[in-house]
Amino acid sequence: MASYRKRGGVWRAEIARKGVRLSGTFNTKAEAVAWATAEEAKVMAGKVTSDHTVAQLLRHYVTLVSPKKANRDTRFEHNRVEALIRDYPELAAKKLQDVRAADWAAWRDDRLEGNKAEGRKGVAGSTVARDLNLFSAAFMTAKREWGWIHDSPISGVSRPKTPQPRSRRPSQTEIDAICHSLGYAPGQTPETITARCGAAYLFAIETAMRAGEIVRMRHEDVNVAKRYVHLPTTKNGTARSVPLSSRALAILEQLKPLKLDPVFGLTTSQLDALFRKGRDRAGVAGLTFHDSRREGLTRLAKVFNVMELAKISGHKDLKILMAVYYAPTAEDLAAKLD
């Protein structure tokens, strides 16, 4: 229903329907009512889109939809939305009815190339594609469920080509150098936070667990007698249990005297920052903490078949497991011939 107010010698009509807010000023109430009736009919017929901005749509999405996702990427999606609003204020402030595919194509190209004048470095095509997928999902939700728009302006925007999957694996020399630079030593309690980062790195290689899964691990999740750790919360939203090797159990035993809970006493950001510093001090290039997952799965492949590997890693798509995370060398494969 429209509302009408008389101010001075004029009448103001206001409409708020289906996320659309419109207003107009008229000389008589009859003119205001006639205008409001006609505009409301357009809104109800879907001929008028919401007057929300891009920023409002994206923030509404991460508030309402992101927390319900099984992969629990709420923080990531919130950060990506806020980064767009901060770095591209003109795009964020645009009304939905004014946004075009060309706007998103320009955003894509700027993200890929960077902007020296504004201090922005270019990012990988995979990063841009991931962000576009998030924003596209928000616009499609606004179209299908909220009725804010008729069509998504991102639908016609091509995604950047994604690079070949990483195949980097650390050598044992590099692993030893990184652990040494972090102050971790086998058989000794890792009392410092830096040493615990080294312990977490070796634990990741032994279990192929993600960094987030390792830092969230609590003592109640570990079954030493049956040699596994249960992960109630994972990236894809499905709980799983991971077998523990003798070396993984030894690392947990080293941590016992510290009586920390979560077990490693680290946050994801601490683990990432400390690993990077330790890696650089060790003079190791081109290696990330997440590469430990590939190394771990490749080592486990010597014991388990691909279906068992998927059970351990939590992968539902075997193509991703084989293409991205399982990276045996020709030497590894040749060894299986004997």
Catalytic residues: 210, 235, 315, 325
- Comparing CA positions, the residue from 231, 208, 212 lying closest to residue 293 is 208
The full length of the chain comes to: 338
CA distance linking residue 314 with residue 211, whole number of Å: 14
What span, in angstroms and rounded, lies between the C-alpha atoms of 8 and 6? 6
Separation of alpha carbons 257 and 55, rounded Å: 49
- Helices within the chain (DSSP H only): 29-44, 54-64, 74-87, 89-92, 101-113, 125-141, 172-181, 193-207, 211-216, 246-255, 268-281, 291-300, 306-313, 318-320, 330-335
CA distance 269 to 155: 34
Which pair of structure tokens corresponds to residue 153? 């302006």
Peptide bond into 262 cis (omega under 30): yes
d(CA 175, CA 178): 5
